Amino acid sequence: MSLADKQYLRIVRDILNNGYYDQNRTGVATYKLPHQIMQFDLEEEFPILTTKYVAFKTAVQEMLWIWQEQSNDVSWLKERNIHIWDNWADENNTIGKAYGYQIAKYKQVDKLLETLKTNPQDRRMIVTFWNIDDLPEMSLPPCAFQTLWDVTDGRLNCMLIQRSGDIPLGVPFNFTQYAVLVHLIARSVGLRPGLLTHVINNAHIYENQIEGMKLQLEREKDAYEAPELWINPEISDFYEFTIDDIKLINYRHCGKIRMEVSG
């Protein structure tokens, strides 16, 4: 069993058994627990679930849209047949001043790359999407909203902070796509990938997702080992990577589990 399955299913089981039940803004009640944490050593194993299918290419392309394209225009995603942001698109086909907009506004990726190259022991390497002034103009306030970066012994470590985590649907995307991001950034600045620590302030399962989660728990005995991540060895510039340069080798899984998104 992959470490991703092991840590993730522990959280799922804990929420179903001990979660606090209440309503929220979506109108669909959740069971939730605060302050859930997963940690992965990216040199040891690539984190992606095997107890259900995770759309790896979609997850990675969403990450590239935010971090590399630095865009808030969902047209880029639609051109690639990715529709996860369609429900939040405004009349201009954007998600307002959210996610990639905030990276571009302050040149946050460029500053991170430069600091990692010139002052890797800087303790202020933070990329954030949480801009209080711009929150009213965002279609959805960012869920995975901040990363903190560290270099220790030649390894690039990243802490991902998530205010709200839809455990069945959003979270499996989030830790997989940020694991890829750490690999790409590390390659770009001449470091080895290190730890990815994922902190979720409000980890929740919606009522209408419970049966899907129970099915996934039943698959625990059939889980597979983690696949291997392949990144094109000829590319070392963060802005030059495409989806064709990022692949999984031997990704085996137990199949899809369909669950609803609560907006």
Question: Can you give the pLDDT at residue 54?
Answer: 98
Q: Domain total for the chain? A: 1
Q: Domain residues for 126?
A: 3-19+32-249
Residue 228 in this model has a pLDDT that exceeds 70: yes
116: domain CATH number is: 3.30.572.10
Residue 157 maps to a domain = yes
CA-closest candidate to residue 167, choices 255, 257, 99: 257
DSSP string covering 10-41, please? HHHHHHHHHPEEE--TTSS-EEEEEEEEEEEE
Asked if 257 and 215 touch (Cβ cutoff 8 Å), the reply is yes
pTM of the model: 0.97
Q: What percent of the chain has pLDDT over 90?
A: 97
| Dist CA 16 CA 14 (whole Å) | 6
Question: What Rg, from alpha-carbon coordinates, does the chain have?
Answer: 18
Q: Can you tell me whether residue 187 is helix, strand or coil?
A: helix
* 260: confidence class by pLDDT, cuts 50, 70, 90: confident
Quick: pLDDT tens for 2-11. 999 999 999 9
133 part of a folded domain:
yes
Q: Is residue 263 included in any domain, yes or no?
A: no
Sheet holding 144-152, edge to edge: 20-22, 30-41, 192-206, 155-166, 144-152, 126-128
The residue whose two tokens read 């199949």 is 255
Catalytic positions, written as ranges: 143
Q: Give the orientation angle of helix 108-118 with respect to helix 170-189, to 10 degrees.
A: 50
